[in-house]
């Protein structure tokens, strides 16, 4: 009986030791997962700052694109401005809206840093980022078509290229279009990050 009691005591001690060894491992796994989520949230915040610069830079550059040729007559003055074309006007308005949305989204991004496992704010950002991506892509594509015509014209429609005369205007407009597509790429990265974070939740 003594041998049986000693064996049972040793078995119980071994089980207790095994439980004690498992507890630190389980407790150690959660901070790693939380750290991974927090890293995604910080990356999201930094990308949003870059998107703000790209969107507001595109809107500002397009909105200030204006050039007047040095020669004009008493009745005619040759001037090129963004508000001469509805597509470029739409570009300025859309990029200003996107830039404003990105500024307002920063507090929600901070919430995801403080609470990496919060699903609500991240899901809201995912949905709104998708809408903003659609708006940015549409206005960038429409402005890109106008810039292409300004640079190359269309001989079939007898549309002449105007960038030879309005070089500064075309340079500013082209830079704004490039900046808008930079914002598109950043939005794609933000959406992928949010989707990955939600999938791991």
CB atoms within 10 A of CB 122: 26
User: Sign of the C-alpha dihedral, residues 123, 125, 127, 130?
Assistant: negative
Residue with the two structure tokens 């078995």: 11
Q: How far apart are CA 44 and CA 64, in angstroms?
A: 30
The predicted-structure confidence for 34-66, as pLDDT tens digits, reads as follows: 577 788 889 999 999 999 999 999 999 998 887
106 pLDDT higher than 80? yes
Q: Assign 67 to helix, strand or coil.
A: strand
Joined together, the tokens standing for residue 78 give 């040759």
Q: What percent of the chain lies above the pLDDT cut of 70?
A: 75
Q: How far apart are CA 118 and CA 198, in angstroms?
A: 9
CA angle 165, 170, 171 (to 5 degrees): 120
The predicted-structure confidence for 117-166, as pLDDT tens digits, reads as follows: 888 889 999 999 999 999 999 999 999 998 888 888 777 776 777 777 77
Beta bridge partners of 166: none
Joined together, the tokens standing for residue 180 give 């808008």
Q: What percent of the chain lies above the pLDDT cut of 90?
A: 44
What's the pLDDT band for 26 if we cut at 50, 70, 90?
very low
Compute the average pLDDT of residues 12-16: 52
pTM to 2 decimal places = 0.76
Predicted pLDDT of residue 20: 45
Give the pairing type, strands 66-72 and 77-81: antiparallel
Joined together, the tokens standing for residue 195 give 């989707």
Q: Assign 74 to helix, strand or coil.
A: coil
For residue 189, the Cα-to-chain-centroid distance in whole angstroms is 6
Helix H or strand E encompassing 72 = strand 66-72
Mean pLDDT score of the chain: 80
């Amino acid at each position: 009986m003594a041998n049986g009691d000693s064996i049972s005591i040793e078995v119980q001690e071994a089980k207790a030791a095994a439980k004690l060894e498992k507890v630190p491992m389980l407790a150690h796994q959660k901070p790693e997962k939380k750290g991974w989520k927090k890293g995604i949230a910080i990356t999201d915040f930094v990308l949003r700052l870059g998107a703000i610069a790209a969107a507001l830079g595109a809107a500002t550059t397009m909105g200030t694109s204006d050039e007047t040729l040095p020669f004009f007559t008493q009745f005619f003055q040759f001037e090129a401005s963004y508000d001469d074309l509805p597509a470029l006007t739409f570009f300025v308005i859309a990029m200003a809206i996107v830039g404003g949305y990105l500024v307002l989204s920063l507090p929600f991004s901070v919430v995801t840093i403080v609470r990496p496992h919060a699903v609500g704010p991240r899901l809201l950002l995912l949905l709104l980022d998708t809408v903003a991506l659609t708006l940015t892509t549409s206005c960038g594509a429409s402005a890109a078509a106008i810039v292409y015509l300004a640079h190359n014209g269309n001989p079939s429609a007898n549309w002449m290229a105007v960038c030879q005369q309005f070089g500064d205007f075309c340079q500013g407009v082209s830079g704004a279009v490039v900046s808008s597509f930079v914002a598109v790429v950043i939005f794609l990265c933000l959406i992928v990050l949010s989707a990955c974070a939600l999938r791991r939740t």
